[in-house]
């Protein structure tokens, strides 16, 4: 992982100063194409200004363990005492697209716990920017279900979760499905809050994201 800290000013009205980890695949993208971009949002316990904390879960942990992922992976760190802010996150996405060879039709976001809520909120605020999302054990989040009619969603949750009970994801799934969204839900029957270890293991989720990101969705603007 490459540690990076920039003053991100893609949107001058929104001052952004996020530290983040950045992983670039060893294999360059095909000529004329760009990398798919995977934005990972950590949970509440990893907030602060120590980027090593961000490596403890999700795709950054897999990369630290030697996994090679077919994405440009960006993992920002939320400041201590704060929650994920959609305007700052989309400014980071804009910065990454401007600085790196990114395919704008294959931008994905995933996150765990507080990062799951951030995933829901970011896709709700900027639905045309994301090809698919994967919230893991995320709290119920107020969204407009219509915004998800063209965003495939894969949720993960532990049935025994007492921190963010399963009903939170069930409520999101029911609401979105009632409005015609493409939503799938994986429930781990013997798992408590840590649904992320299983969700991010193997290649199934990453393969699913890539297949959902193969078609442009029109103009991807805010």
Q: What is the CATH number of the domain that holds 112?
A: 3.40.50.1820
Per-residue pLDDT tens digits for 72-122: 999 999 999 999 999 999 999 999 999 999 999 999 999 999 999 999 999
CA 133 centroid distance within chain: 6
User: Across the chain, what does the average pLDDT equal?
Assistant: 89
- Which residues, other chains included, contact 11 with Cβ-Cβ below 8 Å and sequence gap of 6+? 87, 90, 91, 94
Per-residue pLDDT tens digits for 118-149: 999 999 999 999 999 999 999 999 999 999 99
Is 143 among the domain residues? yes
Q: Which secondary structure element, helix H or strand E, spans residue 211, and what is its range?
A: helix 204-212
Is 119 among the domain residues? yes
Q: How many domains does the chain have?
A: 1
**200 burial type by CB count under 10 A (0-12 exposed, 13-18 middle, 19+ buried):** buried
| pLDDT value of residue 18 | 83
> Domain containing 184: what range?
2-212
> What is the percent of the chain where pLDDT is above 70?
89
pLDDT higher for 213 or 214? 213
Q: Which two tokens stand for residue 106?
A: 């294959």
């Amino acid at each position: 992982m490459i540690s990076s800290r920039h003053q991100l000013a893609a949107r001058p009205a929104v001052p952004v100063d996020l530290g983040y980890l950045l992983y670039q695949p060893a294999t360059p993208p095909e000529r004329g194409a760009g990398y798919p971009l995977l934005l990972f949002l950590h949970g509440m316990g990893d907030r602060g200004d120590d980027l090593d904390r961000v490596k403890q879960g999700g795709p950054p942990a897999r990369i630290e363990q030697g996994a090679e992922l077919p994405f440009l992976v960006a993992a920002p760190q939320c400041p201590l005492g704060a929650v994920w802010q959609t305007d700052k996150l989309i400014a980071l996405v804009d910065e990454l697209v401007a600085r790196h060879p990114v395919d704008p039709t294959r931008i994905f976001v995933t996150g765990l716990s507080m990062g799951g809520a951030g995933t829901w909120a970011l896709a709700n605020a900027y639905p045309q920017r994301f090809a698919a999302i994967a919230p893991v054990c995320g709290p119920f989040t107020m969204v407009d279900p219509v915004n998800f009619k063209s965003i495939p969603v894969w949720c993960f949750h532990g049935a025994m979760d007492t921190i963010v009970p399963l009903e939170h994801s069930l409520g999101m799934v029911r609401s979105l499905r009632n409005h015609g969204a493409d939503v799938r839900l994986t429930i781990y029957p013997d798992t408590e809050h840590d649904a992320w270890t299983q969700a991010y293991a193997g290649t199934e989720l990453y393969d699913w994201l890539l297949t959902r990101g193969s078609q442009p969705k029109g103009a991807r603007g805010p």
